[in-house]
Amino acid sequence: MSYDIVVIGSGPGGYVAAVRAAQLGAKVAVVEARDIGGTCLNRGCIPTKALVRSAEIYDNVKSSKEYGVSVSGFELDFARVMERKREVVQRLVSGVEKLFDSNGVEVFRGKGSIPRPGVVEVTLNGEGGKKVLETKNIIIATGSGHALPPIPPDDIRLAVSSDDALEFQRPPKSMVIIGGGVLGIEFACIYHSFGTEIDVIKRSPLILPPVDDELSKRLMPVLKRKGIRINTGIYIKGIEALPDGTRRVVADTKDGKEVSFEAETVLIAMGRVPDFGGLDLDGLGIAYSKKGIEVDQYMQTSVPGIYAIGDVVGRFYLAPVASAEGILVVENIMNPKERRPMDYSCVPQCVFSSPEAASVGLTETQAREAGYDIKVSKFPFSANGKAVALGETEGLVKVVADGPTGRILGMHILGPHATDLIHEGALAVKLGAHAKDVAYMIHAHPTLPEAVMEAAHGIEGHPIHLAKIR
């Protein structure tokens, strides 16, 4: 069986690459050992956002009196929450399967290996047996696995993973979350809404390392006011099982003092690490490190004809980046005369916390370190009409611009619908727009994007709807 492209992995990198390649006329096969759609659709982005939505609805009902709506006798039907999550996942997985079918992408369910360049061998699931696929190009899109703390394996077995947290039968009464990155904070907000007592513990002094420091500093007290305890400067030593079935996390503070945290459940949510899918990278001569497979600006590995995309590369653990890399690779394969390099200058970083947080482009710190003479403007949602009407006034829009020219270098948002609003900033960064381009563009009223417009006005002078401090 001969193909133009064989993709190993069907996550948002692999399946998008396969579909785009087929659209361009390639004969394509996908090899998937587990679930079509990969971690994103089955155990990551999609199921967590389904839970986020249920948590939002539940919170809205709890606060409905503030809006003149009295609701009595309501309760959380957690079984239905999980059932809906599964329905959402299945609908989207089925959608990917239909995309494969409609585009003529062949799917082989089994574990893929690469005995030599130009050949992919598939050990088929269930029925057994093997298929040998000959191909001109191979794309490795095997994704990532869970990052784990440096504690004994027996201790780790006393905790649960983010996969497990998507399958709880009921919300835990209390939970210690090890990790204050995107994954840990999202789960903290979800389960706090469902009534779980939450302790977040992490080593570094700030949460959410991908976003601008100021957003992190502003979000921490907001979460604390909600009742989510954020504990920083904590170094995990181990996890113990107590006689009553609860768990104790034993740790040291940064100054060497021993502390402990007890809860019904301990969730390890420290992020992701590359998963090489059992491929013999050494035998193939593919350069890699624990950080991921090494690729050039065209996602080409050290072996001609073999590419790598997505989490396995270890640059960004983000589904849209994997998709963009996949599209780039197949377009370069199919149109080599128009080959283009991968551009990471405009990658939105989104956190579905409560409130949401999002960043794109350079942070204030990065811009200063890069030598820019910058201007920074901020506009609070408390002065935005739509946010006030929504009753969601926490947070702000922050614009970082090059002082002499006004060109927008980065945008950072904490507040309602930040993960949607950030794309106005992403477009500005991508196109090299100036603050005045955004400020002088008429924005509909009353809308949340007006906060972006006002922050852009601040680069040129002063936001219109913000009183000057005398």
- CB atoms inside a 10 Å sphere around CB 200: 27
The structure tokens listed for 348 are 């939105």
Contacts made by residues 320-323, CB under 8 angstroms, sequence distance 24+: 320/12, 320/347, 320/348, 321/347, 322/11, 322/12, 322/13, 322/14, 322/16, 322/141, 323/12, 323/13, 323/16
Every domain of the chain and the residues it spans: 2-145+273-338, 153-270, 355-460
Tens digit of each residue's pLDDT (9 = 90 or more) over 13-69 = 999 999 999 999 999 999 999 999 999 999 999 999 999 999 999 999 999 999 999
Report the CATH number of the 2-145+273-338 domain: 3.50.50.60
Tens digit of each residue's pLDDT (9 = 90 or more) over 362-384 = 999 999 999 999 999 999 999 99
Strand pairing class (130-140; 2-8): parallel
Residue 293 pLDDT more than 80? Answer: yes
Reported as a pLDDT band with limits 50, 70 and 90, residue 451 is very high
Which residues on neighbouring strands pair with residue 198, listed in sequence order?
175
**Fold topology of 355-460:** Enolase-like; domain 1 (3.30.390)
Tens digit of each residue's pLDDT (9 = 90 or more) over 245-270 = 999 999 999 999 999 999 999 999 99
User: Active-site residue among 443, 445, 462, 465?
Assistant: 445
Tens digit of each residue's pLDDT (9 = 90 or more) over 64-106 = 999 999 999 999 999 999 999 999 999 999 999 999 999 999 9
Reported as a pLDDT band with limits 50, 70 and 90, residue 107 is very high
Tens digit of each residue's pLDDT (9 = 90 or more) over 170-227 = 999 999 999 999 999 999 999 999 999 999 999 999 999 889 999 999 999 999 999 9
The pLDDT value given to residue 167: 96
CATH class assigned to 153-270: alpha beta
What one-letter code names the amino acid at 461? G
Residue keyed to tokens 């006002």: 454
Reported as a pLDDT band with limits 50, 70 and 90, residue 419 is very high
- CB atoms inside a 10 Å sphere around CB 115: 12
Reported as a pLDDT band with limits 50, 70 and 90, residue 427 is very high
Same fold, 153-270 and 355-460: no
The pLDDT value given to residue 222: 96
Reported as a pLDDT band with limits 50, 70 and 90, residue 470 is low
Nearest to 22 by CA among 90, 104, 118: 104
Our answer to whether residue 445 is catalytic in this structure is yes
